Amino acid sequence: MTKKLTVDELLEKAKKPAKLALAYHPFYGGKLQVMPKCAIRGSQDFAIWYTPGVAASCKAIKDDPEQVFTHTSRWNYVAIVSDGSRVLGLGDIGPEAAMPVMEGKALLFKYLGGVDAFPICLATKNPDDIVTACKWLEPTFGGINLEDIAKPKCFHVLNNAREELNIPVWHDDQQGTATVILAGLINALKLVGKSMSQAKIAMLGVGSANTRTALVLMRAGVKAGNIVMVDRKGILHPNRKDIEAEKEENPWKWNFCLETNSEGKTGDAAEALKGADVCIAAAKPGPGIIKKPWVSSMATDSIVFACANPIPEIWPWEAKEAGAKIVATGRSDFANQINNSLGFPAIFRGVLDVQAKTVTDDMCIAAANELASFAEERGIHEEDIVPRMDEGEVFPRESGGWALESIKEGVAIVKLSRQELWEKATHIIKNARESTNLLMKQGLIPPPPEDI
C-alpha cells in the first residue's frame, strides 16, 4: 500500500524538479543536438549529400517547390517561436531566459511525437515583427508553434500569421491548453455524472490559455451563459467599462462580457466559484490564489483544474480537503496532469503527416475526444482522468484523430486512412525514442549526476 505523504513531504517533493533542473541543465549544456539521419558510408557520400550531387535535388525543387517536402526534412520541421514576453508563470523574462523552456518543448516534440522542432527566440516584442519573422521562416518549416507570447498580442500574432502563412500556425498556450483541458473535462464530468451542456464553469484568468479554452469549450457544447470568467479586477459582465474601453485591442475579452455569465454575477473570484460545478484556473502561480473556502462553496462533486505553472493556484490536497471531488494541475508530479505536453507532439505529428495548411478549433476538439476516449477505454478514476505521458501509444492515436479531422475539413494535402496514419506515426515516434535510448545505452548520452 502506498504511504500517504505529509504536507511537508508533498511540499518538498514539489520543490525537487526545480532543484534538479539547476544541476542537470548545465551538466548537459542544453537538451538538444542535431544528428545525421542519412547513411554515411565514407567521405565519398558527401558528394551525394552535399556538392556536387545535391544540386540535382535543388533543381528538382526549383521545378516543383512541393518536392521540398520529399527531398528535405521540411516535412518534419517545426519552429518554436517566442519573444519571451510571458514564459510559464515568470512573466516577461526575455528571449534568452525563454530558451530552456523552448528547448524543453523541442525535446518533448521529438521524444513524444517524433517531430524535429527548433527553438527560435526572437529579439523583438512587436507583434507585426513576430508575424514577419514567421513568414521569413516559412520556407524551412512545415509548421509554426507560437509559444509564451503575452496577451493580447498573442491573439493578433496567431490570427495574422494563420492568414499570411501557408503552413499550420498554432499557439500552444491557447490551442494546446484548450485541447487537454477539454479532454480532462470530458472524463471528469463523466465521473461525477454531469453533462457538458449543463455544467456551470468558473474560469479564473482571461489570458491566452483561458480565452481559447472558453471558445473551444463553447464549440464543444458548454453553454456560454454557464461560464463565468474572472480577471484581476473581478467577474466579466456587460458593465465592465474598463474592458469596453479596450475592446478594439482585445475584442475577445469584451465579447466574453457580453456572451457569458447569464446569471449576471458581479464581484470577485469567490463569488464566481459559488455553486460552480467546475473551476478552470489559468491565472498566476500559487499557492493561495484559490482559497479553500471558495472551493467549499462550489457545487457537490466539484472539479478543480488549477493549471498555473510552476505552482498551481491551490495545492491539490488543499482543494480535496475543501471538498473538491476531482483535482488536476499542470504538473507531472501530481495526479491528473493537464498539460500541453499531452497535445502538441501528437497534434503536430498529425498535421505534418498530412501536410495540413491550418489548425482549427474543431481539430482541437477531435484531438481532445481521442485523448478522453483513450483514457476511458483503459479505465479512469478520480485521480486518473487523462492519459499520461508515459503511455506512448496515445500519441499515434491522437495524431491520427487530428489528421483525419484535417482531411475532413479539406485542409490536408496528403490523404491517408486511419490505419496508415497510425502506422506512420508509430514508426516515426518509435524511431525517435529508440534512437535516444540507444545513445543512452552506449553512454553517448551520459546519466545525469546523482540526485542532490
11-36: pLDDT as tens digits: 777 788 888 999 999 999 999 999 99
SS3 label, residue 171? strand
Q: Per the structure block, which three cell numbers stand in for 289?
A: 490564489
The larger pLDDT score, comparing residue 15 to residue 220, is at 220
- Read off the amino acid at residue 367: A
126-159: pLDDT as tens digits: 999 999 999 999 999 999 999 999 988 998 999 9
Q: Per the structure block, which three cell numbers stand in for 395?
A: 500519441
CA distance 285 to 287: 7
281-290: pLDDT as tens digits: 999 888 999 9
Look at residues 188, 113, 120, 201 and name the one whose alpha carbon lies nearest to residue 381.
188
What rounded mean pLDDT belongs to the chain?
93
- Mention the CATH class of domain 175-329: alpha beta
pLDDT of residue 1: 39
**Residue 413 half-sphere exposure, CB side, CA atoms within 13 Å?**
15
Concatenating the DSSP letter of every residue in 257-282 gives: HHHS-TT---S-HHHHHTT-SEEEE-
Q: Positive or negative, the Cα torsion across 48, 54, 59, 65? A: positive
Residues whose CB is less than 8 angstroms from the CB of residue 9 and which lie 6 or more positions away in sequence, other chains included: none
Average pLDDT on 221-246 reads: 97
Q: How confident is the model at residue 420 (pLDDT cuts 50, 70, 90)?
A: very high
68-95: pLDDT as tens digits: 999 999 999 999 999 999 898 788 999 9
Q: From the candidates 13, 19, 28, 50, give the one annotated as an active-site residue.
A: 50
Q: Per the structure block, which three cell numbers stand in for 309?
A: 505553472
266-323: pLDDT as tens digits: 999 999 999 999 999 999 888 999 999 999 999 999 999 999 988 899 999 999 999 9
SS3 label, residue 144? strand
452, pLDDT greater than 60 = no
Average pLDDT on 216-242 reads: 97
Told to judge if 50 belongs to the known catalytic residues of this protein, a careful annotator would answer: yes
Per-residue exposure over 50-87, b if at least 16 CB sit within 10 Å of its own CB, e if not: eeeeeeebeeebeeeeeebbeeeebbbbbbbbbbbbbb
Q: Give the DSSP letter of residue 356.
A: B
380, pLDDT greater than 60 = yes
* Residue 436 CA: distances (Å) to CA of 20, 440, 451: 21, 6, 21
